[in-house]
């Protein structure tokens, strides 16, 4: 049968397709928490205004076989460019098209449809895992495009936490143990993991406070001070906590957290999303110690890896992280380039 594409243009329609979406996501080769409908719907609630949802549903006869969570954003003012992006890509560490069993023809059908759409000037899609069905097809479909790369480090979980420590470089193992010794000499310390919905929300309030305190010392704005971001994080974690996927881990002294990390336990992996700590404890490298506790927890639970997500921050490599590559693709439509040249020529006359 031939494939057909339907456009979903409202969040209410997305709510109606959850069952098909989850069925396809499970076999797509792209099953990530950032592609759950709970995450996408929550992001759209806070940041969808001024954007056009162009979520594409692909059917093969009566059966839904794929979804492409796309949107059109307006960039600039005179005149604004209409840019095709993945929904929620700015807050997500992985974006993708999902297709049943990773079917290539579904991806090809999506991009063929996108090429025929008249309502866009450029495309900017990112956070695609290198070698994934989405990334492979995008690189085939968009010739002569601009390709960007970014690393997403992860730490494989060994057979035991002791083995993990033995495999660290000597200087990093020495520093880690030194930080723990100094902290325990001067403070009491307890590691906690919170997955209960109500508790998660309370800890996120504390996390936002610590994040602001840390960045205020640098005289910079934290990510949680972006309009709508704090509310999005709270709502998204509340929705995912109800499914058992969201988690908040903390280091505490006498019941007061001085380091908090937000993460997800999903498909036998732990994803570290954001972290913050009290600047007064900075001499103990609390972010590193918190991550060490998470790694030990993952060994105890038999998880497969600790995914540190996007960014090549040095602290990730002190604990033995390995790079995983993400790619992004951008390309301007020929008609846009011609229009820009025409405007330049007009001004030069």
- Out of 148-157, 202-211, 257-266, 333-342, pick the least confident: 333-342
Question: Is the pLDDT confidence value at 339 over 90?
Answer: no
Instruction: List the one residue out of 166, 193, 192, 188 whose CA is nearest residue 177.
Output: 166
Proportion of the chain above pLDDT 90, given as a percent? 86
CATH superfamily of the domain spanning 3-151+330-348: Gcn5-related N-acetyltransferase (GNAT) (3.40.630.30)
With 50 as the cut, is the pLDDT of residue 345 above it?
A: no
Which pLDDT tens digit goes with each residue over 197-246? 889 989 999 999 999 998 888 888 999 999 999 999 999 999 999 999 99
Decide if 3-151+330-348 and 154-323 have a common fold: yes
Confidence of residue 76 (pLDDT cuts 50, 70, 90): confident
Mean of the per-residue pLDDT values of the chain = 93
pLDDT of residue 88: 97
* Residue-range domain boundaries for the chain: 3-151+330-348, 154-323
Give pairs for 198-203: CB < 8 Å, separation 24+: 199/248, 200/237, 200/238, 200/241, 200/246, 200/247, 200/248, 201/234, 201/237, 201/238, 203/248, 203/250, 203/257, 203/260
- Whether the pLDDT of residue 279 is over 70: the answer is yes
pLDDT band at residue 338 using 50, 70 and 90 as cut-offs: very low
CATH number of 154-323: 3.40.630.30
Q: Are 72 and 65 in contact (CB under 8 A)?
A: no
CB atoms within 10 A of CB 346: 8
Q: Which pLDDT belongs to residue 73?
A: 95
* pLDDT for residue 344: 43
User: CB–CB of 321/151 below 8 Å?
Assistant: no
As a whole number, mean pLDDT of residues 35-56 equals: 96
- The pLDDT, as a whole number, for residue 144 is 86
**pTM score of the predicted model:** 0.92
What is the C-alpha separation between 138 and 133, in angstroms, rounded? 9
Question: Which of the two residues, 201 and 253, has the higher pLDDT score?
Answer: 253
Q: What is the mean pLDDT of residues 51-60?
A: 97
pLDDT at 194: 93
Place 342 in a pLDDT band, splitting at 50, 70 and 90: very low
As a whole number, mean pLDDT of residues 20-49 equals 96
Q: Does 122 have pLDDT greater than 70?
A: yes
Please tell me the predicted confidence (pLDDT) of residue 341.
43
**pLDDT grade for 348, boundaries at 50, 70 and 90:** very low
């Amino acid at each position: 049968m031939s494939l057909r594409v339907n456009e979903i243009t409202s969040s209410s329609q997305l709510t109606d397709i959850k069952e098909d979406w989850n069925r396809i996501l499970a076999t797509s080769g792209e099953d990530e928490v950032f592609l759950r409908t709970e995450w996408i719907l929550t992001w759209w609630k806070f940041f969808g205004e001024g954007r056009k949802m162009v979520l594409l549903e692909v059917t093969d006869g009566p059966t839904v076989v794929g979804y492409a969570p796309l949107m059109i954003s307006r960039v600039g003012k005179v005149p604004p460019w209409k840019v095709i992006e993945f929904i929620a890509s700015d807050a997500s560490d992985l974006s993708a098209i999902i297709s049943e069993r990773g079917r290539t023809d579904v991806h090809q059908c999506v991009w063929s449809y996108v090429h025929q759409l008249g309502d866009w000037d450029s495309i900017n899609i990112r956070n695609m895992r290198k070698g994934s069905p989405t990334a492979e097809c995008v690189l085939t479909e968009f010739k002569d495009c601009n390709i960007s790369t970014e690393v997403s480090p992860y730490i494989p979980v060994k057979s035991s936490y002791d083995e993990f420590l033995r495999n660290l470089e000597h200087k990093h193992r020495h520093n880690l143990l030194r930080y723990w010794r100094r902290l325990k000499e001067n403070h009491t310390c307890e590691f906690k993991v919170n997955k209960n919905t109500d508790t998660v929300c309370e800890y996120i309030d504390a996390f936002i406070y610590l994040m602001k305190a840390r960045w205020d010392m640098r005289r910079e704005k934290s990510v949680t001070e972006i309009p709508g971001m704090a509310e999005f994080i709270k709502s998204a974690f509340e929705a995912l906590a109800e499914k058992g996927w969201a988690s908040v881990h903390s280091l505490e002294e006498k019941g007061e957290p001085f380091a908090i990390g937000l993460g997800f336990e999903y498909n036998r992996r732990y994803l570290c999303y954001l972290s913050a700590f009290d600047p007064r404890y900075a001499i103990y490298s609390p972010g590193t110690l918190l991550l060490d506790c998470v790694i030990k927890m993952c060994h105890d639970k038999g998880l497969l890896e600790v995914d540190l997500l996007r960014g090549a921050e040095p602290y990730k490599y002190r604990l033995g992280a390995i790079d995983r590559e993400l790619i992004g693709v951008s390309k301007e439509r020929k008609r846009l380039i011609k229009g820009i040249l025409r405007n330049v020529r007009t001004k030069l006359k």
